[in-house]
Structure 1
Amino acid sequence: MRCACIDIGSNTTRLLVAEHAASAFEPVIQERAFTRLGRVCRSGETVPPEIVAGLADVVGAQARQAREAGATALRAVATAALRRVANGAEVCAALGAAAGVPVELLSAEEEARLAFTGATWGCASEDPDAPLGVVDVGGGSSELIVGTRAGGVSWSRSLALGSGDLADTHLHSDPPSHEALAAIRAEVAAALAGIEVPPVVRAVAVGGSATSLSRLVGPLLDADTLTAAVDGLATLPAERVAIVHDLAVERVRLLPAGILVLAGAAALLGPLTVAEGGLREGVVLGLAAQSRSD
C-alpha cells in the first residue's frame, strides 16, 4: 500500500511517499522545501497573503507528486507555526484547496502521538511494554514524549523551543558567536527547568536537526558528542559545513540551535539515538492501518 504525508512545519514543508506492507516500510519519495514559515508566524499575528500563496504552490506541487507516484491515500498536516497565528484555520483551508485534501492543524498532543508512533515503529526488538523516550525538535516547538510500543504515549510536553525561532532570535553571525550560543543554552535551560520526565529504557531523537546532525557525528547523541558538534559549528562558516557534509546550507544555519535543544533534552532523558522515522512516518503508518481496516 502506497501512502503519503505532507508535513507543513515551521522550517520546512516535507513530502513522504512510502510503501507499507506487513512489517516492511519502504520510502519511495522524500522531498523537502525550506519554506521557513516560522519567520512570519508570530503569536497572535496573521500570515500575509503572499506567503500563503507561495506555500500553497509548494503544497500543491507536493500533492501532485504524491499522486503521480501512485499514493492511494494522502494526509496533509500542519504544526506549531500555524497553531500560534490568528488565521491558522484560514491558511490551512487555502493550503487544503491547493492540495486537494484537507490540511489538518494538529494539536500538540496529536503531533506528539504521531511522532512517537513513527519514531518507535522500527524498535521491534524492544520489549513492547518498555518505556521509550522521544525528542522531536522542530522549527517552532519541541516535544518530549514517553510511552510504550504497546500502549502508546503516556506522557508528553510541548515546549516553545524551536530551532528556527532560536536561530532567528540569536544567530546573527556566521559562524555563530559564543555569546549567541550561550544565550540559546540559557533559554533552553529556562524552558526545561522543573520538568520531570518519567524514566525510560532508552530515548531517540527525530526531526530535521537530529537527522542532519547524524551526518556530522553519527547516530549516537550523547553529551560529549553534542558539545563537540556545537563547538565545531562555531569554527566554520555554514557554507563550508554544508559542502563537507552534503547538507543544505539553510539547515546548517539552524543546526546549532537544534543541537542545543537536543542537548537539553538529553540531559533529561539520557543519550539519544537518531531514529529512522518521525511525524511523517507516523502519519503514513496510520493511513495504512486505516485503509486495511476499511
Structure 2
Amino acid sequence: MSRIAAIDLGTNTVRIMVAERNGESFEQIFSDQVITRLGEGSHENGKLAPEAMKRTTEGVTGLVRSAEPFRPFKLFITATSAARDASNTGALDAMIHSATGVRLRIIPWEEEARLSLLGAKMVVGDDIGRFILFDIGGGSTEYILSAGDGKPQAAGTNLGVVRLAETYITKHPVVDNEYNDMMKEINATVDRAFTDIRAKGDETLVGTAGTVTSLAAIALRLVEYSPAKVNGYRLTKKVVEELRRKLFAMTLEERGRISHISGGREDLIVPGIGIILATMKRFGADSLIVSDYGIREGLILDIFATEANG
C-alpha cells in the first residue's frame, strides 16, 4: 500500500495524517486534529472515563470522514499514555473497532520515544550531532538522547500536562503557590530524566508536541498554524519567559481568544510551559529547536519501512 492514514490517540489530542510513500520518506496528503481529552481524570482511578472514550471515538470517526476524499488508504490507529496506563483500554478498543473496523495498537513508551525521534529527525536532519528530544504529552513526557553513534538513551516520565493541570492548577490567572507546588514535582522529575539518559548538558535541545509548537506559533505571530513555518524555529528561553508572564496573567476565557491555544489547551499551556522552562534550565539550554513532527510522522515512516522490508 503506497498510501496510509495514521491516527494517533494522545491523552489530549487525536491527530490524523494521510501520507503517500515518496522514496524513503513520504508526502503529506492530508492532516487534521481534534482535542478530545481522552485522559481526563484517568490519573485519579486508573480508568478512562466513558464520556472521554465516547468523545475520542467520535473524534476518530470524524477525522476518518474528513479523510475519505483521499482514499484508497490503509488505516492505522495507535494510542499512547492515557490508553497505555488505563485498566479499561479494552473498552476503548471495542468502541474504536466498532466505529472503524480497525484495532487499536497500544504503543509502549520506549516505542513512543523511538517513533518520536524518527519523526523529529525529519526536521533536524542527521548532521545535528548530539541532541536531546523531549516530547511533552498529555499523559507523559519522554526524553531521548541521540548521539548518532549507537542506541538512543530514553527516559519516560509521568509529566503529562493533563494530569499536572488537573492536580495543581485550579485558578486562572495562575497563582504563585499552585505553580510553585507543581514546579517542585516537575523539577525533580526532569532531574531524574537528565541522569537517566546520561546527558552532559551541552546537547542541542529539540522540543515537540502541542505546547512547544503553540508557543512557536504565538511567537511567530502566525494567523493560521503552519507546520512548515514552525519546524526548525528556534524558541528562546527569553521568549518562553515572556509568554509565561503574559499567558499566566490571563483568565481561561482570555487565553481562549488566542487561536493556537484555544479549544482545549487553555489550562494545559500552564504545565507545558513549566516543563519547557525546567527542561531548558536542567539541560543548560538558552533555546530549543521546534519540531512539529513527532510520533505520528515517525509511525508513518516506520510503517512504510516495515512494508518495504516485508
TM-score by length of 2: 0.84
Query: Contact 2:40–2:52 (CA<8 Å) still a contact in 1?
Result: no
**Which residue number in structure 1 is paired with residue 142 of structure 2?**
143
**Which residue number in structure 1 is paired with residue 296 of structure 2?**
280
- The 1:71/1:289 distance shift into structure 2, 3 A limit, reads farther
SS in 1 for 2:152: strand
- The 1:192/1:51 distance shift into structure 2, 3 A limit, reads closer
1:7-36 C-alpha deviation (Å, 9 max, x unpaired): 111111111223341366443322222111
Alignment equivalent of 2:177, drawn from 176, 179, 193: 179
Paired with 1:184 and 1:70, the residues of 2 have a C-alpha distance of 45
Paired with 1:225 and 1:13, the residues of 2 have a C-alpha distance of 28
Paired with 2:148 and 2:253, the residues of 1 have a C-alpha distance of 40
SS in 2 for 1:38: coil
**Which residue number in structure 2 is paired with residue 120 of structure 1?**
121
1:94-122 C-alpha deviation (Å, 9 max, x unpaired): 32332322211111101101111001122
Query: Contact 2:164–2:182 (CA<8 Å) still a contact in 1?
Result: yes
| Residues 91-106 of structure 1 aligned to structure 2 (within 5 Å) | 91-106=92-107
Q: Which runs of 5+ in 2 are unaligned?
A: 221-232
**Which residue number in structure 1 is paired with residue 280 of structure 2?**
266
| Residues 113-262 of structure 1 aligned to structure 2 (within 5 Å) | 113-124=114-125, 126=127, 130-148=129-147, 151=150, 153-194=151-192, 195-196=194-195, 197-199=198-200, 201-218=203-220, 219-262=233-276
How many angstroms does 1:279 deviate by?
Answer: 0.6
How many angstroms does 1:169 deviate by?
Answer: 1.6
Q: Alpha carbon RMSD of aligned pairs, Å? A: 2.4
SS in 1 for 2:124: coil
- The 1:24/1:84 distance shift into structure 2, 3 A limit, reads closer
- The 1:239/1:24 distance shift into structure 2, 3 A limit, reads farther
- The 1:132/1:161 distance shift into structure 2, 3 A limit, reads same
Identical amino acids, percent of aligned pairs: 26
SS in 2 for 1:10: coil
- The 1:48/1:101 distance shift into structure 2, 3 A limit, reads same
Number of aligned positions between the proteins? 291
Paired with 2:55 and 2:261, the residues of 1 have a C-alpha distance of 24
TM-score by length of 1: 0.88
How many angstroms does 1:6 deviate by?
Answer: 0.8
Alignment equivalent of 2:305, drawn from 259, 281, 289: 289
How many angstroms does 1:223 deviate by?
Answer: 2.9
Q: Which runs of 5+ in 1 are unaligned?
A: none
Return 2-11 or 142-151, whichever deviates more.
Answer: 142-151
